[in-house]
Homo-oligomer: A and B are copies of this chain.
Amino acid sequence: MDQALLEDLVAANRILAEHGVIDAYGHVSIRSPDNPKRFFLARAIAPETVQAEDILEYDLDSNPIEARGRDSVSERFIHSEIYRARPDVMSVVHNHSPSVIPFSVTGVKMRALFHMASFIGEGLPNFEIRKVKKGSDLLVRDPKLGAALAKTLGKSPATLMRGHGSAVTGENLQRSVGRSIYLEMSARMQMQAMMLSSKITFFDAAEVKASAPVQDYKRAWPLWREKALAQAKADRR
């Protein structure tokens, strides 16, 4: 893999942890730019400790290409099945972001009310694992569950996962990371708005359509990336 892209992925792991979107248990992947049937994902360690040598390559059955003793995360099927179902997706984030979970367990719809998270207006489904597997441990730990999640996701930019978190996609890494960060913020804002009033002005369809492509998080990315890689370098010492 290209060195800059590898550094992007290392940075993404740390950026998401720094923003409180993932803790020791979320993960972020990118599809290989060279081979659409491959993707890159860190081994099973806390994301904020990820370095370049922790990144593994996987095929779309979630088999590591060259594990060399490195453990895979059990939920890598979230990534492989979304990449299989959605050729447009180049990056996937799975997180437990705390303000999103209350929406996932109540079925209250998240809606677009903040321009930085306007993609929510494209509609976020909610994956109820119980419909696919009763009595599960909530983890998407096999191809069947991954495929069911990808089916719930459909053409949406992200899906909530009941009692668990969310899966967020992007046509590049910046987008999946930025969306994850602003999804968390927008969830908090929506909870607060709902407490203030039952009458909320959400984005209308035209505003969603106009806003979503503009919000690419390109101004934030260099700031986030530089800080994260400086920390990664400091951690080496």
Which residues of A does B touch, CB under 8 Å?
Answer: 23-25, 44-46, 48-49, 96, 98-99, 101-103, 105-108, 112-116, 118, 128, 130, 134-139, 162-164, 185, 188-189, 191-197, 199-204, 206-207, 209-211, 214, 217, 219-220, 222-224
Q: Does B96 lie within 8 Å of A116, measured CB to CB?
A: yes
5 interchain pairs (CB within 8 A)? A48-B223, A98-B188, A105-B113, A128-B201, A163-B207
Q: Does A103 lie within 8 Å of B203, measured CB to CB?
A: no
Chain B min CB distance to A114 (Å): 6
Chain B residues within 8 Å of A44, by CB? 219
User: What separation, in Å, do the CA atoms of A139 and B214 have in the docked complex?
Assistant: 10
Q: Does A106 lie within 8 Å of B46, measured CB to CB?
A: no
User: What separation, in Å, do the CA atoms of A49 and B219 have in the docked complex?
Assistant: 11
Q: Does A116 lie within 8 Å of B219, measured CB to CB?
A: no
Q: A115-B163, A135-B209, A164-B114 are in contact. Are A223 and B24 (CB under 8 A)?
A: yes
Residue of B nearest to A164 (CB): B115
User: What separation, in Å, do the CA atoms of A191 and B185 have in the docked complex?
Assistant: 17
Q: Does A99 lie within 8 Å of B135, measured CB to CB?
A: no
Residue of B nearest to A108 (CB): B196
Q: Does A46 lie within 8 Å of B201, measured CB to CB?
A: no
Interface contacts beyond A45-B222, A115-B164, A135-B204: sample of 5 additional A-B pairs, CB < 8 Å, sorted by A: A98-B188, A105-B189, A106-B199, A163-B201, A163-B203
Report which residue of A101, A134, A197 has the largest number of chain B beta carbons within 10 angstroms of its beta carbon. A101
Chain B residues within 8 Å of A164, by CB? 114-115
User: Among B24, B197, B209, which residue has its beta carbon within 8 angstroms of that of A107?
Assistant: B197
